[in-house]
Every structure is written in structure tokens, then in C-alpha cells.
């Protein structure tokens, strides 16, 4: 009974805070926009009895999902978001893996300090950190002032309000999410495996690519998911650093909800976004399960 209760608690949490809100969003995505509060129809009228329930379900349709296929804005926003999230994840991996590897190779007494330095940015508000990058990347910001003073450039670089600024903001913001799982995988790595590889004739670089990298695969995959998933629906960074020229689905969602007040279309956009995120996660979990079964 105690085991059942322990298992039941997280499932109830997921049911109340994920499944129920998701079903509400799905219901709104099948509704029609209306000049009312809430700004969509149909509404479930329990006072009308069974007829009210039938009228409610008969009023639901897939017109909002069909509308998304007729407007180029939405599929371009999805493609742009996927591209920015993929490249941001790749850049974050290129920066985060050497840092995690250096932390794993550091002496034991230095590792807690290095870990604290990695998580130190979380002690500051996310919004303040993004605003700080606005000051750094502005045309008259700190970066351009240093480059002009050193003579590297003659005119200020145009970085703010570009995709480059968005990449910088995402990589900086989500870098700890990439470093921590890779560091956890590398820290558990058995050093005797590297020694065995070197005894069998591998150079240090060959042992790194043949032993260290494959054994850190789970940490790399976990870090990539932790970066890619929130980056795909990111809203604050593209709005503040990317400006109006950056097209991402998070900005489209915000505009549909708060500017256009078209909740049904916005909910349809959110449902498709969630499906885009769920499908690769499910495929990855099935692949991991098949590998565990094969190993067993």
C-alpha cells in the first residue's frame, strides 16, 4: 500500500498540472473565437443537461488547425524555431562539453567550487541577465566599446536585434543545463578504461574519442534535450535580443494570446508545439528501452 501511495503521488501531480491543463488547451484549440469572456465558444452548459453536452461537443471542430496550414507565418515560425533551437543546442554542446570535461578532470577539492561557478548565474534573475546582454551587445554597448578601443573594428558591430544575439543569449542562459548532465556522466567514468585503452596502443586523443565520448553519450543526450526543449519555445530572449526581425513560435503564441486575443488559434499553435517536443522524446525513450533490453 505504501508503494502504491508513493507511485500515486507523482502521477496525481502530473495529472493535475500537466494532463488537465493540456486537455483544456486542446479543448480551446477546437473552439471558435468569440467576442466574450472567455473569448471562445462553445461553452459547456451543464444546466441544459444532456442536450447541453451534445451541443458542446458538436461545436468543436478542427478549423484552427486547418487555418495554421493556410498561413505561411506559422510554419515559418515553427521552422525558424527548430533551426534556432538546433543550432543553439549545438553551440551550447560545443561550449559546455569542454567545460564539463575540465571539471571532471579537475582535482577533487576544486570540483565543488567549479560546480558553484556553473550554477552561480541562477542566483540572479533570468530577466536581469538578458537585460545585461542588451547592454553588452548594443551598438554603443560594452562589447563594441572594447573592440573600438582595441582597434579591432572601425565601426560598431550590429549584433543586437539579430539572430546572432539570440544565439548568444540562449547559449549563455542554458549552458548550465548542458554542463551539469555531461559532468555527471564524465565524473562516473572509470579511469582504468582509459588506461587500458592506452595500454592497448591508443593515444590520448584516440582514447578520448573511443572511450570518453561514447561513455558520456547519455549525459550529452540529456543535456541536448534540456537545452533544445525550452529553447524551442523561448519568448523572452528573442523578444529582447532578437527584436522584430526574429521569428520564433514563442513570440507568435504571445501575440495571438495577448495582441490578437485569438485563444483558439493560439491553443492550436501550442498543441502542435507540444507534439513537436513529445515525439522525439518518445522515440528516444523507446530507443533507450530497446538498448537496455538488448544489453540485458
Q: What is the pLDDT of residues 19-49, one digit of tens each?
A: 899 999 999 999 998 888 888 888 888 788 8
8 Å CB contact between 140 and 148: no
What is the sign of the dihedral through the CA atoms of 254, 248, 178 and 9?
Answer: positive
Check residue 40 and report its DSSP letter. Answer: E
8 Å CB contact between 263 and 39: yes
Residue 124 confidence (pLDDT): 87
What pLDDT band is residue 296 in, cutting at 50, 70 and 90?
Answer: low
Alpha carbons 95 and 139: distance in angstroms, whole number: 25
8 Å CB contact between 176 and 121: yes
Paired residues of 201 in beta bridges: none
pLDDT tens-digit map of 211-268: 888 889 889 988 998 999 899 989 899 989 987 778 899 889 988 888 888 899 999 9
Q: Give the angle subtended at the CA of 295 by the CAs of 293 and 296, to the nearest 5°.
A: 65
Alpha carbons 277 and 263: distance in angstroms, whole number: 21
Q: Hey, where are the domains in the chain?
A: 72-295
Residue 153 scores a pLDDT above 90: no
- Give me the mean pLDDT over the 189-202 stretch: 81
Alpha carbons 60 and 30: distance in angstroms, whole number: 5
pLDDT tens-digit map of 196-215: 887 788 888 888 888 888 88
Alpha carbons 197 and 203: distance in angstroms, whole number: 8
Considering only CA atoms, which of 153, 178, 183 is closest in space to residue 228? Answer: 178
Which is more confidently placed, 293 or 58? 58
Which is more confidently placed, 194 or 95? 95
CATH architecture of 72-295: Orthogonal Bundle (1.10)
- Give me the mean pLDDT over the 178-184 stretch: 94
What is the sign of the dihedral through the CA atoms of 79, 73, 161 and 135?
Answer: negative
Element housing 60 (H / E): none
- Give me the mean pLDDT over the 127-156 stretch: 90
- Give me the mean pLDDT over the 149-160 stretch: 88
Residue 295 confidence (pLDDT): 63
pLDDT tens-digit map of 73-117: 899 999 999 999 999 999 999 999 999 999 998 988 999 999 999
Integer-rounded Cα radius of gyration of the chain: 24
List CB contacts of 147: < 8 A, sequence separation 6 or more.
153, 157
Q: CA 279, 281, 284, 290: dihedral to nearest 10 degrees?
A: -90
Residue 188 scores a pLDDT above 80: yes
Considering only CA atoms, which of 76, 37, 31 is closest in space to residue 58? Answer: 31
State how far the alpha carbon of 294 is from the alpha carbons of 165, 217, 289, 291, in Å. Answer: 44, 17, 9, 5
Q: CA 81, 82, 87, 88: dihedral to nearest 10 degrees?
A: 60
Residue 180 confidence (pLDDT): 94
Amino acid at each position: 500500500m505504501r508503494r502504491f501511495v508513493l507511485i500515486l503521488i507523482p502521477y496525481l501531480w502530473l495529472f493535475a498540472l500537466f494532463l488537465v491543463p493540456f486537455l483544456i488547451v486542446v479543448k480551446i484549440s477546437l473552439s471558435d473565437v468569440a467576442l466574450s469572456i472567455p473569448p471562445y465558444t462553445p461553452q459547456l452548459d451543464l444546466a441544459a443537461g444532456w442536450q447541453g453536452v451534445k451541443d458542446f461537443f458538436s461545436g468543436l471542430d478542427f478549423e484552427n488547425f486547418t487555418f495554421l496550414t493556410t498561413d505561411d507565418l506559422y510554419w515559418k515560425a515553427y521552422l525558424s524555431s527548430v533551426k534556432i533551437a538546433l543550432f543553439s543546442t549545438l553551440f551550447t554542446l560545443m561550449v559546455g562539453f569542454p567545460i564539463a570535461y575540465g571539471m571532471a578532470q579537475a582535482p577533487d577539492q576544486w570540483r565543488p567550487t567549479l560546480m558553484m561557478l556553473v550554477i552561480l548565474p541562477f542566483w540572479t534573475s533570468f530577466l536581469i541577465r538578458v537585460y545585461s546582454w542588451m547592454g553588452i551587445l548594443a551598438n554603443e554597448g560594452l562589447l563594441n566599446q572594447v573592440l573600438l578601443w582595441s582597434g579591432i573594428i572601425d565601426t560598431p558591430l550590429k549584433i543586437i536585434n539579430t539572430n546572432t544575439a539570440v544565439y548568444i543569449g540562449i547559449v549563455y542562459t542554458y549552458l548550465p543545463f548542458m554542463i551539469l548532465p555531461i559532468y555527471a556522466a564524465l565524473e562516473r567514468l572509470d579511469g582504468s578504461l582509459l588506461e587500458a585503452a592506452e595500454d592497448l596502443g591508443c593515444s590520448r586523443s584516440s582514447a578520448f574519442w573511443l572511450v570518453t565520448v561514447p561513455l558520456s553519450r547519455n549525459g550529452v543526450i540529456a543535456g541536448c534535450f534540456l537545452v533544445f526543449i525550452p529553447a524551442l519555445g523561448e519568448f523572452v530572449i528573442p523578444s529582447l535580443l532578437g527584436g522584430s526581425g526574429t521569428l520564433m513560435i514563442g513570440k507568435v503564441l504571445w501575440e495571438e494570446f495577448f495582441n490578437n486575443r485569438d485563444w483558439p488559434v493560439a491553443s492550436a499553435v501550442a498543441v502542435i508545439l507540444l507534439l513537436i517536443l513529445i515525439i522525439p522524446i518518445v522515440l528516444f525513450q523507446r530507443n533507450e528501452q530497446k538498448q537496455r533490453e538488448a544489453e540485458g
